[in-house]
Structure 1
Amino acid sequence: MNPLDVLRDSFRFTQRNLGAIVQLCLPLVILEALLQQVIEHTLAPDASRAYSIVVGLVMYPLYVGALILFLDARTRGDSPRTKDLWATALTLWPRFAVLTAISTLLVWLGLSLFYLPGLWLMVVLGFAEYLLVLRGLSALGAMQESLRLTRGHFWRILVCLLCVMTPLLLLKEATDAVYPNPSPMLATVLDSAQSFLQLFTSVVLFRLFMLIGGDADAR
């Protein structure tokens, strides 16, 4: 399947399930944005950056883990309850938080090295979250298996990621230009919207994971 088909299928899935995804992820996304604003306006800059990272490590695995569980369930024709998805995501949180911390650090380091190593790491680690959540692998085991699964599919995954991330980055730059110093409430709204839109990347990567991982299992 070419990248255009992957993007089209992902968009159609998101359209059909948008209400459920909003109910599942948006409350946690808004809570994360609120906590970030509280930290930014109550702590010194150095301390606020450190605590902002902690907030991200706490919240991101919860709503992305719940989203991955939802994507898998809907693919199988199930309709799980939101609270059940949250509860399962909470049990996965320790491993997912470790994976998030390691992969984020590696990507940041890669981006600081002329950017290209960071892109490479984003691609080859792109399936790690799905392997951890859906196959029960450890953080390091999921990263190793992601390296194996993405081998030979680098360009297809990269094109899909760039097609999603580029418009989102441009939208963020435009928003920052229009609202350079937003009020705390507006900043919360903007941050929540941007984080929620970024979840489409998880939908696209899940579609790729199902295609590539399924082919690998079949062999």
Structure 2
Amino acid sequence: MNPLTVLQDSLYFFRRNLTSIVMLCLPLVVLEALSKQALNNALAADASQVYELLIGLLFYPLYTGALILFLDARSRSEQPRKRDLLAMTLRMWPTFAVLSALSTLLIMFGLSMFIVPGIWVMVKLAFSEYLLVLRGMTPLAAMRESIKMTQGHFLRILACVLCVYIPLSVLEGVSLFILPDPLSMPVSLLIDSITSFLQLFTSVVIFRLFMLINEPPEKGLML
């Protein structure tokens, strides 16, 4: 399970299914970015950060859950309808939102303790979303099972995640550096939407790892 191979497989899948992923997830990503931007303009900075987290808990489970279901269907050579994926995601939204809230709180708490514990929590909970969506586990059960599944794979998962996060962070930083400050609303919305959408590639990478750990290699091919 070479991290480079995982990234190559994930990039191949992402490029091949880009149109479907855009149509499925981008409208929700843009709506999330627009909502956050509206709050930033209406509220003070301290208050807007809290509400931004709440908006994230509203939208993130929707487009991430739909993407996970899409990834699972395509791994079985199925072509699901987008409205069916969104309908299934809406039904599991309450439990996914709870899982997202718990994971976010644990990661933020860990990051506040000299960063390393936060990274450990992030990696150990990497599979919890997939266990909740695909196996129907409760949030706590999914978190416990993810901790078990990641045993022996910590560095591999961390390497894959960093290989995605670092280039995206650099890209976002460069775009903010070269663009005039303050950013206009349309430009800010565009950057936020593109950044959030590209971060979905992380979900593809983690799903690939999830498949490889759960399935024999011959059944782990992505289409």
The TM-score, its normalising length taken from structure 1, stands at 0.96
1:47 CA drift (Å): 2.4
Q: Deviations over 1:154-175 (max 9, x none)?
A: 1111111111111011112112
Q: Which amino acid aligns with 1:51?
A: Y
How many residues get paired?
A: 216
For residues 194 and 60 of structure 1, what CA distance do their matches in structure 2 show? 14
Residues of 1 paired with 2:53 and 2:171: CA distance? 23
Name 1:174's counterpart in structure 2: 174
- What is the SS of the residue equivalent to 2:199? helix
Q: How far 1:176 moved relative to its partner?
A: 2.1
Tell me what 1:155 maps to: 155
TM-score (norm 2): 0.94
CA distance in 1, matches of 2:56, 2:84: 22
Segment of structure 1 superposing worse, 117-126 or 37-46: 37-46
Give the Cα separation in 1 of the matches to 2:178 and 2:74.
38
> For 1:103, what is the secondary structure of its paired residue?
helix
The match for 1:65 is 65
The answer to whether residue 220 in structure 2 is matched with residue 210 in structure 1 is: no
Partner SS state of residue 152, structure 1: coil
1:40 maps to 40
Structure 2 Cα separation of the partners of residues 118 and 168 of structure 1: 19
| Separation (CA, whole Å) in 2 of partners of 1:34 and 1:163 | 28
| 2:45 maps to amino acid | P
Would you identify which runs of 4 or more consecutive aligned residues in structure 1 move more than 3 Å? none
Once structures 1 and 2 are overlaid, which stretch shifts more, 178-187 or 73-82?
Answer: 178-187
**What secondary structure does 2:9 align onto?**
helix
Q: CA shift at 1:50, angstroms?
A: 1.8
For 1:118 and 1:50, the matched residues in 2 are separated by: 19
* Partner residue in 2 for 1:29: 29
Deviation at 1:183? 1.1
Q: What amino acid maps onto 2:193 in structure 1? A: S
Once superposed, what is the RMSD of the aligned Cα atoms? 1.2
Distance (Å, rounded) in 2 between the aligned partners of 1:108 and 1:79? 37
Match of 1:190 in 2: 191
Question: What are structure 1's unaligned runs of at least 5 residues?
Answer: none
